[in-house]
Structure 1
Amino acid sequence: MADNKGLDPHMIPKLNAFTKKLHRDVYPAVDPNRPEHSQAGKVVVITGASRGLGRFSFAVSFARAGAKGIALLGRSAEDLAETEKLVGETNPETPVHSIAVSVTDAAGVEKAFDEIVERFGVPHVLVNNAGAMASADTIFDSDIESWWETQEVNVKGTLIATKAFLRKVGPAPSAPTTIINLTSGASIGAIPRLSSYSISKMVNTKLTQYLQVEHPTITSVCIDPGVVETSWTDKEALAFLLPLGRDTFELVGAVGVWVASGDKSFLSGRYLSINWDVEELEARKEEIVEKDLLTLFHRGGFGGPDRVVV
């Protein structure tokens, strides 16, 4: 199947396939309305909730799953109000609270989490969705400040929100606790003009691995949201993705809810694409853990008893 530009619109999920069956829209196994995916009793915190995936994917899907409370963090109070309205329309029984704050403001984020605990209680799920792509140039042409701004939001912002969350839930919470970090397929390859963004997302993937090692009772998963038509795909550097933007907001959010449902510890510290069939993943969970799949690793060679040091 090809579009009018001669591109297979499914080329990216096919190239990145870990499962035989791939999805680009919600399917029964990840439907947030299913009883086994209920988020009843859980407090969910979503950063970058003023637009895009934060609004149309995660806020809507966790509302559909009946979360006890949803806290929305973002820079624009006006835009957050629109997300809050959408959550209310999706599920009037799910309380929602918006806090205008930048994830790069450590003191502001700490205060926001104090407010969340006071309003809803200790949170159970953190979705580190806030992201930026300030720089979209080659390394030679890039502006250093713009290049670094992407790191400030995507890396430092994720770290700040994560630490604030960990301080509330404790280093080894007994209640089911989930951290979802947003990564990107760009973190795997080397797309020209996307060095800052790609590197920042690779760091988030590695940060997720560290969370699993240091906080093994918390399920920490790095989600690649595929190719969704957002304001980002309008950027010149990402224009090539427009014909490939077949993944839906609903699928991204549904996979997020699935990760936060039941025991998904076999995926903790790992990379997960929203396109992969979750039933196949479940069937391979022992293999994934035993072979330490879906993590960053060196593709060259690995040591062994036959190696000689000279």
Structure 2
Amino acid sequence: MEIKNPLEVIIIGGSYAGLSAAMTLGRAMRKVLVIDSGKPCNAQTPHSHNFITHDGETPAEITGKAKAEVLKYPTVEFLNDRVISAQKSGLCFELKTESGKKLSAKKLVFATGLKDRMPEIAGFAACWGISVIHCPYCHGYEVRHQKTAILANGNDALHFAQVLSNWTKELVLFTNGLISLDPDQQAQLTKHGISWIETPVSQLIHSDGQIKHLVLSDGQEHAFNVMYARIPFDQHSSLPQELGCTLTEHGFLQVDELQHTSISGIYAAGDNATMLRAVSQAVAAGMRAGAAINYDLIMESW
């Protein structure tokens, strides 16, 4: 594959946000390259929901359709590769890929997502995205009215309990250690019939990612088929930070309403720049980034 430098835009990350940005730019006749390594964070998730016209499809089905549609635009190209370095050079950004390609572009979009840090609980990673889930708007309807575990502590635990009470009244909080909610917060849980267990969770017994039991460190077992969890994450790519992009206090790339980062010429869209981790949100952010880039390129030549 021969790529002519410099490109107008390189999009790093070819999932929902990246492909959405690419379509917007392709329709604006911009010369765009999407680079993706083929390792989406939701690869294990069996179905995607709450994205109108695609409700219930697998993540791979949605991205497959999106890629086919985007590549109908002749100015958009796709490269299966991984960017390993990036630097600013004059008016362009210079990139190197794992396969040895050297590329340059006027604008960069990071649609690289997040990397979840799995807790040291046996079986957790195998269940993540299947029966251990993060978002009731994405998956809550399918597990409505079921006895549900929450793995969280502190303010996150209270927030989860409040929101999830809309989908089920059978909630049990596992704080994985001493509860850190204050007395008022604990009273709120008690008022709504939500009990909590402080004994750490040591294992999830499951079948192909479907939880059967939670096993505690003291050997007790609790039967659950679904659990919500709030776990820490890292930026999937360190390149934005290496280029000087600012992170928010919560660890997301700081962007404005048009997806500009703190560094001129660099944009970010998708999970790496928002706590709203949903396909529809990523698609919308990608479209905003594409439109902003096109406008910025217009104004630079006006």
> TM-score scaled by structure 1?
0.37
Larger helix share, 1 or 2? 1
Larger strand share, 1 or 2? 2
